[in-house]
A and B are shown apart, each in its own frame.
Chain A
Amino acid sequence: MEVTITVNGAAQTVDVEPRELLVHVIREELGLTGTHIGCDTTSCGACTVLLDGTPVKSCTVFGVQADGRSITTVEGLGAGGLSPMQEAFKQEHGLQCGFCTPGMMLVGTALLEQNPDPTDDEVRWAISGNICRCTGYINIVAAIRAAAAAQSQPPAAASA
């Protein structure tokens, strides 16, 4: 059946089987491979996207459930440049193999929308649904907090 999903700001119409998982729609139909698959029990969070701004595991959502709604994937961060979150992950060495990174950055982005200045524990709780095997989480937490600090800077005055 046909579904129309707003993907990173642009409406896309695709024809999907009702049983097709959103993560497969994103990766195969839409060709956006930054969203990853790491498990088969909705446990790892590598498939995290934002559905109407809320982090969801796209392996546990059917594509048809996203009909008429909007999703943000990692490709939608930073609109042309790099978002403060993406910059922070690089500066803080918040990634090693990169496989969990899109999910982590999206959860971090959603967290800062709700809570612009989270504590370490608040960040850890927010990302506790995203498994990382490489980093031990310390630098991921640092990256999300660095992004929070960067976003709280007042915007530079426009030049005359």
Chain B
Amino acid sequence: MATQEQEIRGIGHSVRRKEDDRFIRGQGNYIDDIVLPRMLHMAILRSPYAHAKINSVDTSRAAAVPGVIAVVTGDLMAQHNLAWMPTLSGDTQAVLATDKVRFQGQEVAAVVAEDAYTAVDALELIDVDYDPLPPVVTPQQALESGAPVIRDEKEGQTDNHIYHWENGDKDATDKAFAEADRVVSLDTHYPRSHPSPLETCGCVADVNMGTGQVTIYMTSQAPHAIRTVFALVTGLPEENIRIFSPDIGGGFGNKVPVYPGYVVATAASLLLGRPVKWIEDRTENLISTGFARDFHMHGEMALKDDGTMLGLRVSLLADEGAFHADAQPSKFKVGLFHIVTGSYDFPAAHVSADGAYTNKAPGGVAYRCSFRVTEASYMIERLVQNAAYELGMDPSDLRLKNFIEKDQFPYTSASGFVYDSGDYQGAMNLALEKIGYADLRKEQEAARAEGKLYGIGLASFTEVVGAGPHKDYDILGLKMNDGAELRIHPTGKAILKISSQTQGQGHETTFAQIVASELGIQPEDVKVQHGDTDNTPYGLGTYASRSTPTVGAATAMVCRRIREKATKLAAHLLEVSEDDVEFSAPNFTVKGAPDKAVTIGDVAFAAYTNFPDGMEPGLEGSYYYDPPNLTFPFGTYAVSVEVDADTGEWKVRRMVAVDDCGVRINPMIVAGQIQGGLTEGFGTAAMEQITFDEVGNCIGSNFVDYLLPTAWETPKFELFETVTPSPHHPIGAKGVGESATVGSPAAFVNAVIDALWPLGVRNIDMPLTSAKVWEAIQAARAAG
């Protein structure tokens, strides 16, 4: 029994990922890879109209096709009380349409057949008699008096208004504005985009009446919560429902909601007694699943002439689509949008938000938005930039002047958040240094003299992640507390079961690294299990960058519980009192006699073979974590661009990203998250938009119209870091997965606006396509 001298590859190590071994062999187990005996295939018939009455649905020709086993309609679902289902926002959503269709792409009927080709063939033979109705395509139209009521089936719904929500002190804010030297305002539409993970949504539903088991293999970022919702909606007993998400090919919030296809497939499996697979195609994914953003925002900032920020006022109109199905903490109608005061010390702020129904797909909270923080961060960082120009200040100076100071943390914002820690000046100064900001400004001046359009854009974001403390955070009443179970085996290896649900974030590696740091068991010796509701603790899942803040904390805490018992076992083996035992992973040593030691491996074996009288055998534990607060990652992004005035094209010359997410468990994985997020932010700023024509046809329903960045146009990003730990998190970590999508769009847009400001351009809404940039230049020149 001696010490083990060996580097423990825990927190801080760029451990290569354990999950890669199956992916690089093509042995990932995604939903469409699952084949069960006697499995059937389902295809969904979708509405071509944005708004129409359904007079009849005739399935007789479809049902007659050889190989078709069943055709499911809204009427059939209604007989089982499943034509409608609850949404995560407390609204209802049609599973299969009965009275009307309310968006192009809405689910109307489903064919279940022996193979996928036959199912799709039969869709064309379903005859639906529609009477088109006037469509409501914008939220402004939706709220005009006399607008057609989309949700006329809801008792008491007489218009298209869904909610009104406010935050902040309106009187104090009005006073601040009244006393201001100047007010800067910005109107901007954050366009509708789509998370578009490379793997679409789908499920294999297996309702087995013989065993009573309901197994649903599902692309789900929140399997436990979905299991509970399924139990409540279908009446099937929760203990017999198993939701299993083996490997997920990207989520980005697209795989949080319950989609009608899951419910229809489950009902079909129940009725037919065979497994039913439903995998949507890309067009279905883009036109019917949870979109992102679509906020029409008006922001105003009150300032003194010396640049001191006095107050912030934002009003917004949210386009929610035909059903209110946002996945966010239930008390907050626009998520955590009230983080809009950002990194700045505003004495007063007020947010006013309204949501409207439109004849479009439901959604809004998705695509790495951190519960609407993307929208908020964009608003404040664009407003700050424009305010700087109007004041004649450099945008970096205006930010530095108003940043919350390092010694002001924990900081209570005018919106009521308590920011845990931050060093905004540190991140900004590092970004300015790394991009050579002063030199870029000189270069810009010289370039302007030659008629070249160089621009530099900044964004200093404050993110808010880790929902959350039980007092304020729940979804449909389910508190957002996640858990970890750890069992150490006789041979000193371990199994860790967690309630989060990775979609590529590397949980099988990073959470094992936490165990390594806490207990000294190497990450390769810790098997991490997730995604199977029968075999993991209850939790609300992975989205909004919450896994490290909640599950990471639970993992550290369960290790510490186990370490208490391990210390007792070590004392027993070392024949000393518990107080004389110290732990330094992986060794338990005797104080003052470091040669007397046992390893965690010795202790694990003893837990099964040599434990003291009165001690419960084994070495395991579980922990559910209720965070005391959210965590607040932050950073500064700096972008330099060149704009071609003749074509409107803009190119990123350099981008520097400084991120601070506290303690980094695996630096390589953190960098990967940021690189991916910056690319999605770039796509958002440059090319991604789902648009609709005046009758509600969805343009942007496939990858030819909805453009994603490829390797060719994606910039090369330069990543840097500062580290400001979270004081309340057990390992000092914050979340990071969404920082880059939150912070970067404003940085890109600010850079282009910076290039064009002298021409008279004040704003261009995203995406900044070359056509829009060119038109803005022409319009400014004409006005100038």
Contact = CB atoms under 8 A, between A and B. Distances in A.
Interface of A: 17, 19-20, 24, 27, 32-41, 43-44, 46, 73-75, 78, 82, 86, 89-91, 93, 95-102, 105, 120, 123-125, 127-141
A97 B248 contact: yes
A80 B503 CA distance: 28
A61 to B, nearest CB: 16
Contacts of A102: 26
Contact of A96 (B22, B26, B33, B505): B505
Given A17-B117, A133-B250, A138-B675, A95 B669 contact: no
A73 B26 contact: yes
Contacts of B668: 93
Contacts of A19: 117
Contacts of B671: 93
Contact of B198 (A46, A75, A124, A141): A46
A85 B270 CA distance: 45
A78 B27 CA distance: 14
Main secondary structure of the interface of A (DSSP, over half): loop
A17 B120 CA distance: 15
B702 A43 contact: yes
Contacts of B702: 39-41, 43
B675 A90 contact: no
B26 A133 contact: no
B117 A96 contact: no
B250 A97 contact: yes
Interface in B1-34: 14, 16-17, 19-28, 30, 32-33
Contact of A95 (B24, B679, B708): B24
A57 to B, nearest CB: 12
B416 interface: no
A36 B710 contact: no
A133 B252 contact: yes
Contacts of B249: 36, 38, 97-99
A43 B26 CA distance: 21
B449 to A, nearest CB: 31
A124 B23 CA distance: 22
Nearest to A34: B26
Interface stretch (B52-60, B122-130, B712-720, B727-735): B712-720
Contacts of A124: 711-712
Interface string B497-524: 0000001111000000000000000000
A74 to B, nearest CB: 3
A84 to B, nearest CB: 11
Nearest to A19: B117
B680 A125 contact: no
Contacts of B479: none
B679 A131 contact: no
9 contacts: A19-B117, A35-B26, A75-B26, A86-B25, A98-B23, A99-B28, A99-B30, A127-B711, A136-B675
A24 B26 CA distance: 16
Contacts of B703: 39, 41, 43-44, 131
B672 A139 contact: yes
Given A40-B702, A43-B704, A86-B25, A100 B676 contact: no
Given A38-B199, A43-B704, A131-B710, A93 B672 contact: yes
A117 B293 CA distance: 42
Given A32-B26, A34-B25, A124-B712, A100 B717 contact: no
B609 interface: no
Contacts of B710: 127-131, 137
Given A90-B21, A99-B249, 14 more contacts: A40-B283, A43-B704, A93-B668, A93-B671, A96-B504, A98-B28, A98-B247, A101-B24, A133-B197, A135-B676, A136-B675, A136-B677, A137-B675, A139-B672
A58 B506 CA distance: 29
A132 B198 contact: yes
* B248, B503, B710: residue with the most chain A Cβ atoms closer than 10 Å: B710
A93 B28 CA distance: 16
Contact of A90 (B17, B503, B677): B17
B394 interface: no
A128 B712 contact: yes
B763 interface: no
A27 B138 CA distance: 42
A96 B368 CA distance: 15
Contacts of B560: none
